[in-house]
Amino acid sequence: MSTPTTPAVELTDVCKAFGGRVVLNGVCMRVAPGERVALLGESGSGKSTLLNVIAGLEPVDAGTVRVSGTMVSALDADQAALLRRASIGFVFQAFHLLPHLDAVRNVAVPLLLSGIAAGAALEQAAAMLERVGLGGRADAWPRQLSGGEQQRVALARALVHRPSLVLADEPTGNLDPVTAAQALALIASLVDASGAALVMVTHSAQAAAIAHRRLRLDARGLHADDEGPA
């Protein structure tokens, strides 16, 4: 079990290449519990790959990856899947809601995958929808929801199982500035309330502004950002 001093994320000398092209080269990164970090860089710099490595979706070629003290880079595929279900929430640019499920059942998916009984899972999911302001839309299908509403459902799904880490990949990329501002305020308030760490890939100055710290991934590696969003 993690302690308050255990980093939410810790990468040491992580390397990853695809077809001979080096994407991550000796990346080191440490994110504290409850910290919000924006990950910046040009398209193709490896930001999404870095998120996938943290989540155990991509194996590393070298180095170590830990999430809340668990050595992700030493887990097999099944063990990594269990870690994601228990400890990691995902928020995506394209929302990735399941079209055949209504809003409350979309939110309940992580709970059901963790073995929670359907009744209890739906009750918790409904409560989470209330927290994101969509209590009256629990039975709506994804196609009936606006982009902002879909992002709120996706955020509720990411946080319903109380993860220690939220990974967000361009979470407001498909939203207009006003709706994006609302979504970002909600992301910040919910991760703060839960104590989760947030690692967010973004090109948006608006999104990066909610971070406690900004990091840039480029040919020099991963370093403190001094350029502003790409």
Asked if the structure places residue 66 within a domain, the reply is no
Is 111 inside a domain boundary?
A: yes
Task: Say if 229 falls within a structural domain.
Answer: no
Q: Is residue 22 assigned to a domain?
A: no
pLDDT for position 107: 97
Q: Does residue 1 carry a pLDDT above 60?
A: no
pLDDT of residue 2: 46
> Following DSSP, what letter does each residue of the chain receive, concatenated?
---TTS-SEEEEEEEEEETTEEEEEEEEEEE-TT-EEEEE--TTSSHHHHHHHHTTSS--SEEEEEETTEEGGG--HHHHHHHHHHHEEEEETT----TTS-HHHHHHHHHHHTT--HHHHHHHHHHHHHHTT-GGGTT--GGGS-HHHHHHHHHHHHHTT--SEEEEESTTTTS-HHHHHHHHHHHHHHHHHHT-EEEEE-S-HHHHTT-SEEEEEETTEEEE--S---
Q: What is the pLDDT of residue 43?
A: 87
Q: What does the alpha-carbon distance between residue 133 and residue 47 come to, in Å, rounded to a whole number?
A: 31
The answer as to whether 68 is a domain residue is no
Question: What would the mean pLDDT of 28-40 be, rounded to a whole number?
Answer: 95
Query: Buried b / exposed e across 212-228, counting CB within 10 Å, b at 16+?
Result: eebbbbeeeebeebeee
Q: What percent of the chain has pLDDT over 70?
A: 96
Domain CATH number, residue 96: 3.40.50.300
Number of domains in the chain: 1
Residue 226, pLDDT score: 67
Give mean pLDDT, residues 203-227. Answer: 89
Nearest to 102 by CA among 161, 144, 160: 144
Domain presence at residue 70: no
Tell me the one-letter amino acid at 169.
Answer: D
Domain of residue 92 covers 35-46+77-224
What value does the mean pLDDT take over residues 182-190?
92
Decide if 10 is inside a domain. Answer: no
Q: Specify the residue for token string 């929808």.
A: 129
> Which band of pLDDT confidence, cut at 50, 70 and 90, is reported for residue 221?
confident
pLDDT bracket for residue 230 (50, 70, 90): low
Which pLDDT score is estimated for 64? 96
Instruction: Work out the pLDDT band at 31, boundaries 50, 70, 90.
Output: very high
The answer as to whether 64 is a domain residue is: no
Q: Is residue 14 very low, low, confident or very high in pLDDT (cuts 50, 70, 90)?
A: very high
pLDDT tens for each residue of 54-68: 999 999 999 999 999
Condensed to tens digits (0 to 9), the pLDDT of residues 105-127 reads 999 999 999 899 999 999 999 99
**Greatest mean pLDDT range, 81-85, 88-92, 107-111, 171-175:** 107-111
